[in-house]
Structure 1
């Protein structure tokens, strides 16, 4: 029986269940990563087409509880990915939470309503590798990286980013011969003079994004106490 997940600050009236069991299936990763790319040829990536279609239906069924996958990280913070399936729209919500905040920090959204990016590369890599004490959520660094990858948007990524994503794809069951190509599509070929850029301002220690489509044009979880904002900034960047 699936574990019920309670997020007090999230939408009222929706039933949420833990979805980390989905991470065992390559079809899930292909469906999840295609949120920002489009419909793939599943067989090319080592996923049976019928299995892929079943997964897409499972992830978008408004008659079932909404799957939630969690990435706990430093300082008691958790990143959440929720497959929010309404009768007339399907979205995937990405946000962070701390039990002391009383609010959510939105990273962005994929689906019918697009918003992002929500993470710089340094933040994504930190969350993927972050040690955590929680018994809930994903613990595998490759799974954590791919789960949050749709929120990535950064003009200043290191050369090894594509290789790291390709390794994670292969680790999670994507055919190795196609993983490198898919990683290039997912990460992109951004130049340092393009967008978006991430900067820390005098208003908050948490970086803000230059993209006009990003919820992080304002500091993440705006309104939390100054020490909480510093804790969040440290956690996102692997400090402390």
Structure 2
């Protein structure tokens, strides 16, 4: 039985359920990475996903009578990136945010629901979070799964030229046929929801901000946290967290 998750700062009308047991397999990754974009739905066969499995898992993930699934990606300093499937009957969507038990607020990365806001992560942040697996933390611990779970929030003008190869490698490690993974990776990156903004650190906060006006991170993440908490967050996001 899935564990209930409590995130007091997250407003919802349903209990939250740890969804990590649902992660994995072609049907999940197809739904997570491609379902929201019509141009990507034709990739279902290249994922090696059975359409019946896709339909069954979609019904389970979007059941508004069941607890909402959340996928947790813990990273340095006690932070957790959370992907929450918001299953209001008339307002379904996916929320991406960062939670820390000492903040008393959430750091919003973005959302996908027809009124999309983002991007929420630079390439450096995405790869740093995916690789920074704390000992004993609850949630996703496989770096490839962590990377793909947060990939929809990527938007960065400085995404490297070999990014498609990195995405393809993660896809292959998560069970996508290796002969199709490079094509899928290229399509996902070429059909990003977001513009490709720059990320800069401005005076007043060590946490980078995003140049895209539609991003929640056009202002520093988790407004109102202390200066020390902001430094800890910046170090964790950069992969330069001090021991």
Whether TM-score is above 0.5 comes out as yes
Q: Distance in 2 between matches of 1:20 and 1:12?
A: 19
| SS state at 1:53 partner | helix
| 2:164 alignment partner in structure 1 | 162
Matched residue SS, 1:176 = coil
Structure 2 partner of 1:174: 176
Greater mean deviation of Cα atoms: 26-35 or 121-130:
26-35
1:22 shift after superposition: 1.1
3-state SS in 1 of match to 2:223? coil
Matched, 1:233 2:237: no
- The alpha-carbon deviation at position 13 of structure 1 amounts to 3.2
1:215 maps to 216
The answer to whether the 8 Å contact 1:35/1:111 transfers is no
How far apart in 2 are the matches of 1:179 and 1:36?
Answer: 19
In 2, Cα distance between equivalents of 1:189 and 1:92: 18
Any runs of at least 4 consecutive aligned residues in structure 1 with deviations exceeding 4 A, and if so which?
A: none
Matched residues, number: 237
Asked if the contact 1:72–1:134 (Cα under 8 Å) also holds between the matched residues in 2, the reply is no
State the TM-score, normalizing by the size of structure 2. Answer: 0.93
Q: Which residue of 2 aligns with 1:102?
A: 104
2:46 matches 1:47: no
Report the CA distance shift for 1:41/1:182 in structure 2 as closer, same or farther (over 3 A).
closer
- Distance in 2 (CA, whole Å) between partners of 1:36 and 1:128 is 22
Q: CA deviation at 1:36?
A: 4.9
Between 11-20 and 196-205, the greater mean CA deviation after superposition: 11-20
Deviation at 1:160, TM superposition (A): 2.3
Cα-to-partner distance string for 1:177-217 (whole Å, 9 max, x where unaligned): 22111111222399xxx831100000210000011110000
Once residues 40 and 145 of structure 1 are traced to their aligned partners in structure 2, the CA distance between those partners, rounded to angstroms, is 23
SS in 2 for 1:96: strand
The match for 2:78 among 69, 76, 79 is: 76
1:54-203 matches, within 5 Å, as: 54-188=56-190, 195-203=196-204
Return 5+ residue gaps in structure 1 as ranges.
none
RMSD: 1.6
